[in-house]
Structure 1
Amino acid sequence: MRLQGKTAIITGGARGIGRAMAELFAAEGARVLAGDMSALTYENPSVEGYTLDVSDPESCRACFDYAVERFGKIDILVNNAGITRDALTRKMTDDMWQKVIDVNLGGIFNLTRLVGPHMQENRGGSIICISSVVGEYGNIGQANYAAAKAGMIGLAKTWAKEFAMKGGNVRVNVIAPGYTMTDILSTVPQDLLDKFAAMTMLGRLGKPEEIAKAALFLASDDASYVTGHVLSVNGGMRL
């Protein structure tokens, strides 16, 4: 029960990696508020769904206020919500670019600028940003997504410094998953999935539960001396 008595907000918590994290955190004793535009695809007595649009500052403010009123304080924030709008740069529209930036990068700013100072005042907390192997290495057809996920790393390293000031003791880290079998990959042809798997040292794609276990480590006191770090969970992917 590594998260016993702690409260966590997990964005994008309705399905996929977000669901895996929410259920694992709950199993480890946390009370979880799973923010998402969609309803939860599962039932768990320790996980509460909350309608959240991370790209909307007012929606984030309402979520933050609700969490503080409901639970008293926030101990863990996982910035997981994200979308894709893929196209080669020469074919990428303004809307495709802006929507991904607004959700994947602006979204973590909108919520963390509220939660970070709150944790700092309470002298502790863990913020985890879910980036991507694409944010580390880039990817053809994903200029918007790569930019947002790379920007996330810069924000996290900055916040690791800012929220630790004056004894804040807030840890901020990044997980950069490789290709992980979620709903997003369910429509990808098998030959491409096999290609992605062959790019890893372990010869397979990741599972949401494997990303969740990495997040559990960073959220827990087991990682009490880890901050400003990018943890690549990608099976040894070679690009």
Structure 2
Amino acid sequence: MEFLILIIAGVVVYYLYVTLQEYLKNPMQKNSRESEEIFDYSSKEDPYKNLEFQEGQEIQRFSHTELGVMLEIIKRIPQKEKNAEVIEKIVKNFIEQYVAIYPDMQKDSTKANEFFLEQPTDKSLVDVASEFLSFSYAEYKKRLRFVEFLLMLLYLDGVLSEDKKEFLLDVASVLELDNEDFNKIYDAYEQQFEKLEAESDTEENNISLEEAIKAQINIFDSKNISKDLLEDALRIRKSLK
């Protein structure tokens, strides 16, 4: 009986030994494949690239890009129709500056201009701003600069009405801007634009809108991080007085 038990034990040990050898040759074959299928993505990957769009829906696809989301926010500026032509020119330059820094978007520049002329989607401003936050979550300076760009557009007629203030505050809040950073920009614009509107028109203010727009710094270029967009905003406003 003891001899039989020893034989059975030997067989079991041999089987375990053979199984172990096979495992050591390729220990993670199955699990590695499962992991690859589940986690095969990059943090830089466009989260919308796998969405299915039918032929002719390029504009819809574009609306799910960072540039598309920013343009969707700009579309919602209060009283935009008052300065529609001016804003359209500024936004065209804005698009050119963006694709200059992100050349992969160059092919979408035409779609971007077409998209901006379309009516806003049914999404709420909060939802759209939240999308931009997702795109730029690790780029605080970009979000801060974009809000300053919005402030420039809001001051095109020299007045920041209550509905414009509410719009700006809603966007800034969703984008998680620091109160001190936001207030610093807001106060500077308020002070300088009040001063500008109180001034009489002078010859030195005679600069064309096109020249003023082209002189605007590229807010997406890291080399311009310390340059003041306020001066550009004042120059554009002067060209309209």
Structure 1 and Structure 2 fold alike (TM over 0.5)? no
Structure (1/2) with the larger strand percentage: 1
Structure (1/2) with the larger helix percentage: 2
Using the size of structure 1 for normalisation, the TM-score is 0.38
Using the size of structure 2 for normalisation, the TM-score is 0.38
